[in-house]
Amino acid sequence: MAFPTVNGSNLLRQKLSLPQDFQGRFNLIFVAFQQWQQREVDSWMALASELEEFFDGLAIYELPTIQNKNFFYKTLINEGMRAGIPNPKSREHTITLYLDKADFRSALEMNDEAHIYVLVIDQKGNEYFRTRGALNAGNEAVLRQTLEQLFQ
């Protein structure tokens, strides 16, 4: 499965084309579809930070994925997120995708929006790991094992 080419802007207002603009050799991606899913993303953040420090070449990204809307709606959402995320690195690595969510989910074989998706991909969009929902011991173990194999 390959991550499709999509365009978005991070919270520093930089336009990016993904997956090629991901900075890591491998990238741990959190795809969220609903605002309440930030709790699921947050459940991963301590582990994600630990892994990013341990594995040189791993980058962490949050991709709030929102149905394409008009300019004013996008501005309101983006500025609201910017206000809530003061850390410059977090702003750089939070990339909002405004697109046809059904098409995006279909391209990635994501059946629904009930939970976040967590992926490890490279800059070409090749996928190496996938799970959904909040962090638990099982998906943590598989993620660690995957990263250890990738970074050997």
- CA distances to 63, 82, 119, 145 from 88, rounded to whole Å, are 16, 10, 23, 30
Under 8 Å between Cβ of 8 and 95: yes
Tokens representing 74? 């996008």
Here the CATH number for the domain that contains residue 86 is 3.40.30.10
Residue 15 Rama label (left phi>0; alpha psi -120 to 50; beta): beta
Please indicate, yes or no, if residue 134 is contained in any of the structural domains.
yes
pLDDT of res. 91: 74
Please indicate, yes or no, if residue 1 is contained in any of the structural domains.
no
Please indicate, yes or no, if residue 45 is contained in any of the structural domains.
yes
pLDDT tens for each residue of the chain, 152 residues long: 789 999 998 988 899 999 999 999 999 999 999 989 999 999 999 999 999 999 999 999 999 998 877 666 666 676 666 656 767 787 788 899 989 999 999 999 999 999 999 999 999 999 999 999 999 999 999 999 999 999 99
- Nearest 10 degrees: Cα torsion 54, 110, 99, 103: 140
Please indicate, yes or no, if residue 130 is contained in any of the structural domains.
yes
Q: What pTM value is reported for the model?
A: 0.91
pLDDT of res. 42: 94
Please indicate, yes or no, if residue 62 is contained in any of the structural domains.
yes
Give the single-character DSSP code of 69. Answer: -
- Nearest 10 degrees: Cα torsion 128, 131, 51, 64: 100
Q: Bridge-partner residues for 10, per DSSP?
A: 95
> Which range of residues forms the domain containing residue 76?
6-150
Number of domains in the chain: 1
Please indicate, yes or no, if residue 28 is contained in any of the structural domains.
yes
